[in-house]
A and B are shown apart, each in its own frame.
Chain A
Amino acid sequence: MNYETLVSERASSIPPSGIRKFFDIVSEMKDAISLGVGEPDFVTPWHIRSEAIYSLERGRTYYTSNAGLMELRRELALYMERRIDVSYDPAKEILITVGGSEAIDLCIRALVNPGDEVLVPEPSFVCYKPCAVLAGAVPVPLVTKNEDKFKLTKEALLAAITPKTKLLVLPYPNNPTGGVMTRGDLEEIAQVLREKNIFVLSDEIYGELTYGMEHTSIASLPGMRERTIIVNGFSKSYAMTGWRLGWAAAPKEIMQLMVKIHQYAIMCAPTASQYAAIEAVKNGDEDIARMREQYDYRRKIIVDSFNKMGLSCFEPEGAFYVFPSIQSTGYSSEAFAETLLKKEKIAVVPGTAFGESGEGFVRCSYAYSLENINEALERIDRFVNGKGV
């Protein structure tokens, strides 16, 4: 069969993730040290794991309701009130999803019509563009810059808005740059959006991982709740990546559309994960604080080292990534990553995996032990400055 002419053109048109391509090489190299993985190195805290085990012991092995366990949605409503000061009705405005990723997909599919434009700040997480394309929308990159600490500026936003603009993706704290948007930064964006019928997909998956400041949700700004869809999850804040659990919060008119897609495509999120999540959101604040403190120590070490070795690196204020500039080395992002891997067996992700504007940068995750990070930094220094060998 000639599959090419038969399969979906849209599915064929989206490229495979650039991160994936690169790490297929890494996984074959046995003694390589990676700073590539974008997930916590911590194991889910035991009291959370044990609740899932207990739920299985009690025979809680059935589906939950489509929207997820009511107790979990109630706890999340309390959590959002407590952390970001926005109220949602657990019965109609909160949906438990299979990771934040599903919530992103649902949100885009629920909002866009063919030809609508979806604004995506770049560099950013790799899924927004393909999700938009698969929904028939047109992704429009909004380039963010090192000198702006990779924040989305009002000017960049205004320049990109057209009559077809439907949705702005706001992925802060940001993967891969570690950039954050403060309340003041968000207010500038909100000013533009309030007067237009543009929705915001606020991806707050790294919202608990900010350093020296509290995360602000754009939904908490006056007039923004009605046009914002919050996407969040348990993966990063509670080190629960493998549980595949996230949630969305949105005005009920939007939420009912998302629930519809979710009920046909997914039915409901895994039950055991939901029981674990209840424990996490009820009693996990200290776990978050403990892990955040460890990330913060590593962040400071890694930023300090990159700047000392001459790879200028702005101090990221969120997530667990640093995004140093490698322009001074004369390499392109991809060549830098490949040569570093070959010569020193250190894996980092080329900035271009997160959009063209990532050229000149690499992403390093600090979701690794300090020993691992220090060893990697030594080797990168040797690679960049030709010391040792």
Chain B
Amino acid sequence: MKKILELLERNACLTPEQIAVMLGRDPDAVREQIKSFEKENVIVGYKTIVNWEKTENEPVTAMIELRVTPQRGEGFDEVAKRIYQYEEVSSVYLMSGGYDLAVMLEGKSMKEVAMFVAEKLAPMEQVISTATHFVLKKYKIDGNIVNDKLEDTREVISL
């Protein structure tokens, strides 16, 4: 079970048939398992990792540190929910340490992102403070090294 998830987490393009061969399992059983993972939200979604820097429309990414006041009975969940429903928000994490919520934002320009923070996040009554950090360069995304595509440089040798 865990192996199916590990394989898909590395490469979502693997077919149930391929996974079945790799794990020595029955294809139908693997297909069923994946379906039930999807149903139970163990598999939350499938994504392609895009290096937008290589395209003409590179979006601006920012990480916003939010300090917020937890609410009685709800903790941080209620405020997190209010935030993650915005389309501009790509990830929200509850953090330990110097601040509470890490919010990843995407926008067309720095101004757009800054305005979103100023107009949508900062005014929320539970939000005590915000700190906006723009991403300047992505070296590694979700386990994938971005620019350093390793060529096969192995030479011809007798063995």
Contact = CB atoms under 8 A, between A and B. Distances in A.
Interface stretch (A36-44, A68-76, A134-142, A330-338): A36-44
B156 A125 contact: no
A175 B158 CA distance: 12
A37 B24 contact: no
Given A19-B159, A23-B156, A37-B154, 5 more contacts: A24-B156, A26-B156, A27-B156, A37-B156, A38-B157
Nearest to A367: B154
Nearest to B7: A297
B13 to A, nearest CB: 9
Interface in B42-65: none
Nearest to B11: A370
Interface in B145-159: 150, 152, 154, 156-159
Interface residues of B, number: 14
Contacts of B115: none
Given A297-B22, A301-B22, A19 B154 contact: no
Contact of A19 (B21, B22, B158): B158
B18 interface: yes
Q: Which of B11, B156, B157 has the most CB of A within 10 A?
A: B156
Q: Which of B7, B21, B24, B158 has the most CB of A within 10 A?
A: B158
A300 B24 CA distance: 8
A38 B21 contact: no
A281 interface: no
Interface of A: 17, 19-20, 23-24, 26-27, 37-39, 41, 43, 125-127, 175, 296-297, 300-301, 304, 368, 370
Contacts of A296: 22
A175 B150 CA distance: 26
Contacts of B156: 20, 23-24, 26-27, 37
Interface in B116-159: 150, 152, 154, 156-159
Contacts of B23: 300
Query: Can you list the 3 inter-chain pairs with the closest CB atoms, starting with the nearest?
Result: A17-B158, A297-B22, A20-B158
A300 B21 contact: yes
Interface of B: 7, 11, 18, 21-24, 150, 152, 154, 156-159
Instruction: Tell me the dominant secondary structure on chain B's binding face.
Output: loop
B159 A125 contact: yes
Contact of B21 (A37, A125, A304): A304
Nearest to A304: B21
Contact of A301 (B18, B152, B157): B18
B152 A126 contact: no
B24 A39 contact: no
A381 to B, nearest CB: 15
A4 B156 CA distance: 28
A374 B154 CA distance: 19
Contacts of B159: 19, 38-39, 125-127, 175
Contacts of A127: 159
Contacts of A24: 156
A304 B11 CA distance: 20
Contact of A41 (B11, B21, B152, B157): B152
A137 B11 CA distance: 51
A38 B158 CA distance: 8
Contacts of A301: 18, 21-22
Contacts of A17: 158
B94 to A, nearest CB: 30
Contacts of B150: 43
A255 B157 CA distance: 29
A356 to B, nearest CB: 17
30 contacts: A17-B158, A19-B158, A19-B159, A20-B156, A20-B157, A20-B158, A24-B156, A26-B156, A27-B156, A37-B154, A37-B156, A37-B157, A38-B157, A38-B159, A39-B154, A39-B159, A41-B152, A125-B159, A126-B159, A175-B159, A296-B22, A297-B7, A297-B22, A300-B21, A300-B24, A301-B18, A301-B21, A301-B22, A368-B152, A370-B11
Contacts of A27: 156
Contacts of A368: 152
B14 to A, nearest CB: 8
A375 to B, nearest CB: 13
Contact of B154 (A41, A125, A297, A304): A41
Contacts of B152: 41, 368
A43 B152 CA distance: 10
A127 B22 CA distance: 33
A24 to B, nearest CB: 7
B21 to A, nearest CB: 5
Nearest to B17: A304
B11 to A, nearest CB: 8
A300 B7 CA distance: 14
